A = this chain, B = another copy of it.
Amino acid sequence: MRPLSIGVAGLGNVAQGVLALLRENGALIAARAGRPIAVAVVASRRAKDVDLLGADFTTDVGSLVKRNDVDVVVELMGGEDAALSLVESALDAGKPVVTANKAILAAHGDRLFELAARGEVAMGIEASVAGGIPVIAALTRSLVANDIDRVVGIINGTCNFILTGMSSRGERFDAALAQAQELGYAEADPHFDVGGVDAAHKLAILAALAFGVPFSRDAVYTEGITEVTPEDIAYARELGYCIKQLGIARRTPAGIETRVHPTLVPLDNMLASASGVMNAVELHGNATGSVLLHGPGAGGRATASAVLADLVSIARGERPVAYTPAATVPARVAMTDVVTAAYLRIPAIDQPGVFARIATILSEHGISIEGAIQRERAIADRKVPIVVLTQPVPEGEMNRALDALAALPAVVGPIRRIRVEHLDG
């Protein structure tokens, strides 16, 4: 049968992974797809010393759309403007697209899927979230019969590597980040990862697919891991939790929550076992309950595996992903209305009655205490952290309680609040 002929934009890690896998596994892929996948052309700003499998090379990315021998445009350039313009022009021209670009999907997914739907053109986006873990296929295909109420994931490997290092070796954030940078798991400018931006892009995509809400990275509340300390991790463990950077998309009666922040996760939850650079995503639906996927969330070959899965789907004549906008788009829940339990670390002067005053203020704001750690010191009037685990409470109420706590004379430093997810049922 005629090969599926692709044009690849970009020649970075993922594109090189696609070429390497076609070289190594091409015959196997052809047998499974029913036809070979052939690379007609690779477009990139500059050539690299890479085996292009006989494909043409060009610096003119726009030429991919015009070539008759390109059946599918594979956008692996990264960045936003040029990639967006390539994907749009390909879909406009009726050419299927496979893209790994979470940034353009998180910001412009609605328009792109509308273009694809209008032209009945396939758009594959498996590679855009969690690399080699098939979370897009799970949401849009395998769990298609589920009303999904929760998608919760460790979707940034850099953060998970850093938090794992802090947890296993008691390191501070800066030391763990430095090690991640040394091993190539973090960029020189790490903000995109440790600030939660990358995870927010991915979560915007997952929320759109799970709930049919518009793609919106701006709707995702985003908090990074830079303030997490080894002390927080140790206290959390004492309370039966670990600290993970989670992306959380949840449907509640009030609407859809989307948030990225450090989170206390019960130690016996599967997400707690995902360590190092691994990613893990839990999908929770009304047919299956909880299904968890764990694996490599980044890396050239793992992400290329996802790109090729979409290409095989297209080679079989399928539309690899189905974004189905909800008939009635549910409301978004404002962060102040989100209800979560919280871990509080309150730096206080060790005086009689301090804990009682803290408990009173929490109680006045309708916040019950689930657990606490308070160690008496031999020397009075020393600074001592009081750690409190609360029951679930709306964020706005907690914010007011935190303001009141901060105003206590015995509270002598910024209060650290980390949200808790129990992930039941």
Contacts and interface: CB of A to CB of B under 8 A. Distances in A.
Interface string A309-325: 10011001011001010
Contacts of A28: 147
Nearest to A20: B287
A21 interface: yes
B304 A145 contact: yes
Contacts of A126: 142
B287 A295 contact: no
Contacts of A133: 291
A386 interface: no
A141 B287 contact: no
A249 B51 CA distance: 33
A132 B288 contact: yes
Number of copies: 2
Interface stretch (A29-37, A82-90, A176-184, A369-377): A29-37
A212 B243 CA distance: 42
A312 B291 CA distance: 19
B33 A144 contact: yes
A225 interface: no
How big is chain A's contact interface, by range? Answer: 35 or more
Interface in A101-160: 126, 131-134, 137-138, 140-147
Contacts of A25: 145-147, 286-287
A293 interface: yes
B295 A294 contact: no
Nearest to A312: B144
Interface of A: 17, 21, 24-25, 28-29, 31-33, 126, 131-134, 137-138, 140-147, 268, 270, 272-275, 285-296, 301-302, 304-306, 308-309, 312-313, 316, 318-319, 322, 324, 327
25 contacts: A21-B145, A21-B287, A28-B147, A29-B145, A31-B327, A32-B140, A32-B322, A126-B142, A132-B287, A134-B138, A134-B291, A143-B305, A144-B309, A144-B312, A145-B309, A270-B274, A285-B305, A287-B304, A287-B305, A288-B301, A288-B302, A289-B302, A290-B295, A316-B318, A316-B322
Given A17-B287, A29-B144, 14 more contacts: A25-B145, A25-B147, A31-B324, A133-B291, A134-B291, A137-B137, A141-B141, A141-B313, A145-B304, A272-B273, A287-B304, A288-B301, A291-B295, A294-B294
